[in-house]
Structure 1
Amino acid sequence: MSSLLRGKDFITTQDFTKEEIDLFIETAFDLKKKLARGEIHPLLAYKTLYMIFYDESTRTRNAAETGITQLGGHGIFLSPDKMQAHHGETPSDTAKVLTRFGDGIAIRHCQFGVGNKYLNDIAESAEIPVINLQDDKYHPTQILADLMTIEERFGKDLKHIKVGISWAYAESHLKPLSVPQSQILLFPRYGMDVTLAYPEGFDLMPEIVEQAKQNAEAGGGSLKITHDMDEAFVDADIVIPKSWGGFYTIDNPMEADKRKEEIMEKVREHKDWICDERRMSLAKKHSVYMHALPADRGREVVDSVIDGPHSIVWDEAENRLHTMKAIMALVMGGRP
């Protein structure tokens, strides 16, 4: 196991070179094979991961907790309302205490304008690696699983693979911007051509879009923005239609939590932004449908697509486990 990444925080893929990201993916493939063969691989024996979740989770929490168990360690779930953070303990104090006890801190905190800052405040004081399990800007563990799944289907040479990333209608909640933002940042670094579609007003963070354009120029890929959902599907190899909150439909995105109903009114104007059989027919015959899950069935996507032959969402979900294990093994690993 490489020692190059030992001790490094995993907050965004922007902090890693393409070669380092390749190492995460190669490690994930290796661990997936080991698990399939029934080979025990206790790379993190007796190590402890603290998992702080400010938001609900199915795949992310279970990928982390199952993963650390399979690596021979132990995961401890921490709910903020049961921690002293609920009574005002600072991120710095929390980080310093957990540093004395364990070997890694993993955090999900998606509140807009708050989450990423909280993770960085923890990382500044922690002397053990901090892993981002999703914040308001980035979801790097999901995007590594996406990349692994794409490589399984299309191989390692991804230049000019066309990816359609589109906003889709949903009412379950105001989903974070972090998944599409992490996708547009990483995919063009591998030479993929990304078309990003969303209704006017549902923009991603401007600074993230600008960085994604720079990544595309450096990586040989491209990023195109449109307000036509169909355009993201035309001749696409991969389609990823998923809702995200319309934070920029109000004057001050930082007030999104206070003005959720106002945003939801804007969301309801676009019920026709759904992934259905007609839109899938616009993509290439071999195209695949991906989604980070959970998907709002009947709103973001029809059942015949998510359960149909184009869908690889269950492979994508499974790969959350293998990529999470690779991240932990590489950043939390110690010398034998």
Structure 2
Amino acid sequence: MNTRLMGKHFITTDEWTREELETVMQVADYLKLHTALHIDVEQILKNKTLFMLFFEESTRTRNAFEAGITQLGGHAHYLTPKATQIDHGEGPKDTIEVLARYGHGIGVRNTLVGGNAYMRRLAEHAKIPVYNMQCDIYHPTQALADLYTIRSKFGQNTRGLKFVVSWTYGPGYIRPLSMANSLITLMPRFGMDVVLAHPKEFNLHPEMMAQAEKYAKSAGVKFEVMDDMEAAFEGAHIVYPKSWGPIMHTEDEKEGLAIIEKYPEWVVNSKKMALTNEESIYMHCMPADRDVEVTSEVMDGPHSVIYDEAENRLHIQKALMALTMMR
């Protein structure tokens, strides 16, 4: 356990050692147990302030952080560019220099192109920890909560589990690559054999693919890419079907939406789940398009752990704040 994490930014899991990530999950266990037993932990971050800067709306991320800081004895400020001087052109340095004098941590959600770069500029000048609440490249708090959920279902030793990240049909708008990027770079580090499945136009960032391959090689596990969803699902212990846009193939939104429409059969249903391991789990960061990308039969079925997964966002984010927030 490494508890020397005060002030450390959480922008990607790649910048945290496995020992540090294990520490977060151990603290999450502690806090989750206290929640179950109705034991107060409000002294941990009593009177501390978390700033939450959202460039777009959120359900689970916002409320897990806001409820979490409240349960730890602190409070949250919900900020948007429009409700601050950011929309009027104030840069990251001036924003964070001021906020750091008022509070003790800041979370940022910005999935627009350049979102990660914006967080990096904040972190460069921040004297308080910066938490990535999702950007255009990563969604680290969700990925860590996903790992925590998998361990709660299969035990601490996840070596040998087959983890499938699959693209799914999700019409209407272009979704970021951040969830898939985060999953393929985290799960091999904890001994899982990872399969990435998608149609040919939905490649991920080359840097993320290289990281996944590096971690798989280091851990002595497999990292495979397939273009067949059903073949990928065969024997899987964990399936994580999630839509993302053909961003690496085209920057034209109209063209991207047309490409998505080529693959309506890439959906999750009971037939595909029957191909998986008998004890498999279905995961999704939510929101999922019910009866579009996944059937309600699967979302509400015995394999689904989506609500446990959502709850674990609370415990992981509380642990992150407890370990890193400036006191």
| Structures share fold, TM-score greater than 0.5 | yes
Distance 1:14 1:2, change over 3 A: closer
One-letter amino acid matched to 1:202 = F
* Aligned mates of 1:41, 1:135 — CA distance in 2: 30
* Aligned mates of 1:237, 1:332 — CA distance in 2: 35
* Aligned mates of 2:18, 2:172 — CA distance in 1: 35
Count how many residue pairs are aligned between Structure 1 and Structure 2.
Answer: 326
**1:30 Cα deviation after fit:** 0.9
Question: Residue 154 in 1 paired to residue 154 in 2?
Answer: yes
Post-superposition Cα deviations, 1:234-283, rounded to whole Å, max 9, x if no partner, equal 00001011101110221xxxxx3xx2221000000000000011110110
Question: Residue 98 in 1 paired to residue 99 in 2?
Answer: yes
Q: Give the structure 1 partner of residue 309 of structure 2.
A: 316
1:169 and 1:272 in contact (8 A); partners too:
yes
* Aligned mates of 2:48, 2:281 — CA distance in 1: 38
Q: Give the structure 1 partner of residue 299 of structure 2.
A: 306
* Aligned mates of 2:15, 2:249 — CA distance in 1: 30
Gaps of 5+ in 1: 251-255
2:56 and 2:109 in contact (8 A); partners too:
yes
2:284 and 2:306 in contact (8 A); partners too:
yes
Post-superposition Cα deviations, 1:202-247, rounded to whole Å, max 9, x if no partner, equal 0110011101110111123221001111122000001011101110
1:172 and 1:296 in contact (8 A); partners too:
no
Q: Give the structure 2 partner of residue 12 of structure 1.
A: 12
Distance 1:172 1:39, change over 3 A: farther
Question: Residue 57 in 1 paired to residue 58 in 2?
Answer: yes
User: What's the secondary structure of 1:131's corresponding residue?
Assistant: strand
Post-superposition Cα deviations, 1:134-186, rounded to whole Å, max 9, x if no partner, equal 00111010011101100010001010100111000011421111111111101
Question: Residue 184 in 1 paired to residue 184 in 2?
Answer: yes
* Aligned mates of 1:297, 1:172 — CA distance in 2: 14
* Aligned mates of 2:2, 2:73 — CA distance in 1: 18
* Aligned mates of 2:221, 2:307 — CA distance in 1: 27
One-letter amino acid matched to 1:190 = F
Question: Residue 45 in 1 paired to residue 38 in 2?
Answer: no
One-letter amino acid matched to 1:238 = I
One-letter amino acid matched to 2:104 = D
* Aligned mates of 2:300, 2:123 — CA distance in 1: 40
Instruction: Determine which structure has the larger helix proportion and give its number.
Output: 1
* % same residue: 47
**Which of 323, 327, 332 is matched with 2:325 structurally?**
332
2:112 and 2:135 in contact (8 A); partners too:
yes
Q: Give the structure 2 partner of residue 262 of structure 1.
A: 255
- Any residues of structure 2 matched to 1:200-219 within 5 Å, and which? 200-219=200-219
1:189 and 1:220 in contact (8 A); partners too:
no
Question: Residue 242 in 1 paired to residue 242 in 2?
Answer: yes
2:197 and 2:229 in contact (8 A); partners too:
yes
* C-alpha RMSD of the superposition: 1.1
* Aligned mates of 2:15, 2:149 — CA distance in 1: 21
**1:3 Cα deviation after fit:** 4.2
TM-score, normalization: structure 2? 0.98
User: What's the secondary structure of 2:248's corresponding residue?
Assistant: helix
Q: Give the structure 2 partner of residue 253 of structure 1.
A: none
Gaps of 5+ in 2: none
* Aligned mates of 1:189, 1:74 — CA distance in 2: 34
Q: Give the structure 2 partner of residue 115 of structure 1.
A: 115
TM-score, normalization: structure 1? 0.95
* Aligned mates of 1:172, 1:153 — CA distance in 2: 33
1:142 and 1:292 in contact (8 A); partners too:
yes
One-letter amino acid matched to 1:164 = V
Q: Give the structure 1 partner of residue 170 of structure 2.
A: 170
User: What's the secondary structure of 2:101's corresponding residue?
Assistant: helix
One-letter amino acid matched to 1:210 = A
User: What's the secondary structure of 1:108's corresponding residue?
Assistant: strand
1:106 and 1:133 in contact (8 A); partners too:
yes
1:67 and 1:322 in contact (8 A); partners too:
yes
